[in-house]
């Protein structure tokens, strides 16, 4: 098959699929309730005992107090990703907080948090 | 040794079919309201991974080809290109696929290449195309060497390998429940392969088959999909990126970071590269055996059920 034709088919096909998915609402981030977050945390870390869950006001992230450590669960497209907050950096941004995990496969996440919520979360994230 | 032999690159010719089938699956799911999920960035990442895999093959394919042609020059055997030779090569290559795939889950160096295929939390036809960019670096081409040495021309070996991959496209779907019993018994199916993509402890390290599920039954790695244990797709520790470069290389980076830790013995450094995924020198991570054992400690009623037949104790 000529390379030019293959390239046109691949670029055209990928663009078409992405456009259709976006236009039909498949780009929405999952929305979390406290119970959703608790279930999702157990899905990621079945050995953990979940002690407390605090969902962000925009409902795209949750701070989870567990038997191991404080953890963060966040919307990842239609699904979630979770990490214990053990080796990370946190910094304030215009809209909330940015966490860096020193992990090539999960480099970080930006959280949208209102100022009072931001201060509370940052305190909980960094307190021993 | 013989006239130049060439076969079509079936994976390239299948591209229009792949795109049409993805659109058909998406429309079917949208109409029926069941049979899978699609998410824009996840699907886009999978499709870019697929395109990158084809590009990687075009750029690095000469390495494996050169290796196979070297073997072809030294082998005194020639099985020819009859239909029987093609069929025999197809079946033997599927056995080759089974073992390469098994190594891909049990040897971290090979897993580093294969992990991206499992990195989506979705399971639809785009997941089938979430293929490796780094397969050449695993050196798994050596597992194909016996086929060439047996007298199958390298072009034929790559041709049947391409058919094998194209077959596996359609089994990456939740839109198909179960196939007829005879088909489920003999062939790899959506049901069998869903189990393979499961991150549930039950489904870890099972169903490595490409086309014929019989290899898993022969070598003891078959686990049927269970109605009471819905498959949860993705990795044990799911990654948090849609960036194709990070998807393609994250486990390689992980290997080199682990190997470079201070204070390790040479053996420990090597084990970080070749031991099963989840190995750690200090026991801070879990291998699939340890994950299964911990699951059984929490759920003793699962002991002896499919995927937990081998005695495993939490320790």
- B44 CB neighbours in chain A (<8 A) are 14, 17-18, 21
- Has residue A107 been placed in a domain? yes
Q: Measured between alpha carbons, how far is B120 from B125 in angstroms, rounded to an integer? A: 12
- Residue B283 DSSP label: S
Provide the edge-to-edge strand list for the sheet that holds A79-84: A50-55, A61-66, A70-76, A79-84
Mutate to test the interface with A, among B33, B238, B246, B284 (most CBs of A within 10 A): B238
> What ipTM describes this predicted complex?
0.95
Write down the pLDDT at residue B315.
Answer: 40
Q: Which tops the pLDDT comparison, A22 or B309?
A: A22
pLDDT of B161 over the 90 cut = yes
Give the strands of the sheet with A89-92, arranged side by side.
Answer: A89-92, A96-100, A108-112
| Confidence tier at B6 by pLDDT (50, 70, 90) | confident
Of B38, B41, B240, the CB nearest to A109: B240
Domain range enclosing A71:
34-126
Classify residue A116: in a domain, yes or no: yes
Q: What is the largest CA-CA distance in chain B?
A: 62
Q: How much is the average pLDDT of B7-14?
A: 89
| Domain annotation covers residue A83 | yes
> Dihedral sign, CA of B213, B214, B215, B216?
positive
Q: Please give the tally of structural domains in chain A.
A: 1
Q: Does some domain include residue A67?
A: yes
Residue A45 lies in a domain: yes
Q: What is the pLDDT of residues B261-294, one digit of tens each?
A: 999 999 999 999 999 999 999 999 999 999 999 9
Count CB neighbours of B296 within 10 A: 20
Residue A19 covered by a domain: no
pLDDT tens for residues B67-78?
A: 999 999 999 999
For residue B23, which residues of chain A lie inside 8 Å, CB to CB? 16-17, 20
A21 CA: distance to closest CA in chain B (Å) = 5
State the DSSP H helix or E strand holding residue B125, giving kind and residue range, or none if neither: helix B125-128
- Residue A13 domain-assigned? no
Residue showing tokens 């290389």: B249
| pTM confidence score | 0.95
Q: Look at A105 and B40 and tell me if their CB atoms are within 8 Å.
A: no
B40 alpha-carbon distance from chain centroid:
23
Kindly report which listed range (A1-10, B24-33, B154-163) carries the lowest average pLDDT score.
Answer: A1-10
Question: Cβ of B65 under 8 Å from any chain A Cβ?
Answer: no
Residue carrying structure tokens 């990842």? A76
Q: What percent of chain B has pLDDT over 70?
A: 97
What pLDDT score was predicted for residue A2?
A: 84
| Percentage, residues of chain B above pLDDT 90 | 94
Closest Cα in chain B to A76: B240
Give per-residue pLDDT as tens, B104-147: 999 999 999 999 999 999 999 999 999 999 999 999 999 999 99
Q: B183: which residues sit within 8 A by CB, 6+ positions away?
A: B189
Q: Which of B241, B249, B256 is the best substitution to test chain A (most A C-beta atoms within 10 A)? A: B241
Band of the pLDDT at B312, cuts 50, 70, 90? low
Residue B311 has pLDDT above 80, yes or no: no
Is the CA virtual torsion B282, B283, B284, B288 positive or negative? positive
Which of B18, B24, B8, B12 has its CA nearest to residue B47? B18
Residue A48, pLDDT > 80, answer: yes
- pLDDT of B313 > 80? The answer is no
Q: Which residues of B touch A20 (CB under 8 A)?
A: 23, 26
Phi, psi of A82 (to 5 degrees): -135, 145
**Inside any domain, residue A69:** yes
pLDDT at residue A113 above 60? yes
Instruction: Check pLDDT > 50 for residue B44.
Output: yes
């Amino acid at each position: 098959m000529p390379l030019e034709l293959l390239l046109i088919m691949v670029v055209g096909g990928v663009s078409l699929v992405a456009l259709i998915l976006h236009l039909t609402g498949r780009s929405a981030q999952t929305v979390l309730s406290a119970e959703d977050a608790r279930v999702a945390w157990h899905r990621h870390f079945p050995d953990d005992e979940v002690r407390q869950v605090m969902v962000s006001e925009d409902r795209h992230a949750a701070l989870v107090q567990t038997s191991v450590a404080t953890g963060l669960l966040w919307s990842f497209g239609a699904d979630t990703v979770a990490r214990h907050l053990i080796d990370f950096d946190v910094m304030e941004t215009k809209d909330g907080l940015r966490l860096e995990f020193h992990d090539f496969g999960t480099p970080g996440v930006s959280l949208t948090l209102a100022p009072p919520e931001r201060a509370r979360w940052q305190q909980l994230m960094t307190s021993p | 040794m013989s006239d130049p032999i060439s076969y079509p690159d079936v994976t390239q010719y299948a591209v229009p079919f792949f795109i049409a089938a993805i659109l058909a699956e998406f429309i079917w799911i949208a109409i029926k309201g069941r049979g899978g999920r699609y998410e824009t960035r996840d699907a886009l990442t999978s499709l870019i991974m697929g395109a990158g895999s084809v590009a990687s093959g075009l750029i690095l394919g000469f390495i494996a080809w050169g290796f196979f042609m070297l073997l072809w020059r030294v082998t005194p055997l020639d099985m020819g290109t009859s239909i029987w030779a093609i069929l025999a090569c197809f079946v033997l290559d599927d056995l080759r696929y089974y073992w390469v795939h098994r190594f891909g889950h049990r040897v971290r160096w090979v897993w580093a290449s294969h992990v991206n295929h499992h990195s989506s939390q979705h399971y639809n036809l785009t997941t089938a195309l979430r293929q490796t960019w780094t397969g050449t670096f695993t050196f798994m081409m050596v597992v194909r060497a016996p086929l060439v040495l047996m007298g199958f021309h390298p072009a034929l070996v790559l041709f049947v390998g391409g058919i094998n991959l194209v077959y596996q496209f359609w089994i990456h779907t939740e839109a198909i429940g179960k196939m007829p019993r005879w088909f489920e018994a003999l062939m790899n199916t959506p049901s069998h392969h869903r189990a393979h993509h499961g991150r549930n402890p039950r489904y870890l390290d099972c169903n490595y088959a490409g086309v014929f599920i019989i290899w898993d039954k022969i070598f003891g790695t078959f686990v049927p999909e269970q109605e009471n244990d819905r498959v949860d797709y993705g990795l044990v520790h799911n990654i948090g990126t849609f960036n194709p470069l990070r998807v393609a290389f994250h486990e390689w980076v992980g290997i080199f970071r682990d190997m470079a830790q201070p204070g390790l013995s040479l053996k420990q450094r090597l084990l970080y590269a070749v031991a099963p995924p989840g190995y750690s020198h200090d026991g801070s991570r879990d291998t699939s055996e340890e994950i299964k054992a911990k699951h059984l400690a929490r759920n003793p009623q699962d002991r002896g059920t499919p995927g937990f037949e081998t005695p495993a104790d939490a320790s």
